[in-house]
Amino acid sequence: MWEAAQFLDESLDHYIIDIDLAGHATDTVQEALVVAARREPVDILRQIADSVGFEDPALTVASIALINGFESIYDLTAWESTAVVHIEPNALDLIFIRDVRIKLLVMPLDTGAGSEMEALRAFGDQFRYLLNDMTEEEAPDTVYVSNTNRHVARLCSAWGEQLNRRVTQASPFQKIDVPGDLKDTVGNLNPSAFMVAVGLGCQRLG
């Protein structure tokens, strides 16, 4: 937190801080992405959510930025319905996007009985029941998974069979023409953290 404070105009009390691992790690060093958002606009977003009847919207800097980043990278049509699953420690952010409507759910992830991968596979059944309760128009055509787990491709395949839908990893690099000499560097980046960073860059200030 001390290092984050060096880059802020005011004290940490005026900001909401979110931290995520940035992917690259050694035995002694772990890179991290630290995001700071002014508390006042986040409080305004919460007030808007409250005014339209959302209960405990559970908005975080990462979830807001992830929505911004996803919409800037993926060109969705007006009729297309999409879900973005952002996997965090012990929880999943489920973001449903259709036209201009966005719905965010935060679901707990029970890892007490096994590994994270086992918990995610088990969550697939719960996810299927959730989608089955949606109307045909609301249910997502494609599910994008935002995660850095090395088994994410296998998870997408398993969820695709469980949900009977296209499930793929969200890629923040699809619109970027990466030079050949940077491909290895880009390949080591945390795609989830990069998409959040893109979303922060797209956030309008003021």
Helix (H, G, I), strand (E, B) or coil at 15: strand
pLDDT tens by residue, 4-14? 677 677 777 88
Domain residue limits, the chain: 2-202
Q: CB neighbours of 178 closer than 8 A, spacing ≥ 6?
A: 186
Token duo for residue 142: 């494609």
pLDDT at residue 55 greater than cutoff 70: no
Task: Report how far apart, in Å, the C-alpha atoms of 79 and of each of 76, 90, 117, 204 are.
Answer: 8, 33, 33, 26
Calculate mean pLDDT across residues 141-153: 81
CA distance 188 to 111: 26
Question: Which of 43-47, 53-57, 73-77 holds the top average pLDDT?
Answer: 73-77
Q: What is the pLDDT of residues 78-134, one digit of tens each?
A: 678 889 888 877 778 888 888 767 888 878 777 766 777 788 888 888 888 888 888
Please tell me which residue, 175 or 67, carries the higher pLDDT value.
67
Q: What are 22's two structure tokens? A: 């940035």
Nearest of 15, 132, 20, 142 to residue 74 by alpha carbon: 142
Classified by CATH at the fold level, domain 2-202 comes out as: Nucleotidyltransferase; domain 5 (3.30.420)
CA distances from 85 to 12, 25, 178 (A): 29, 24, 26
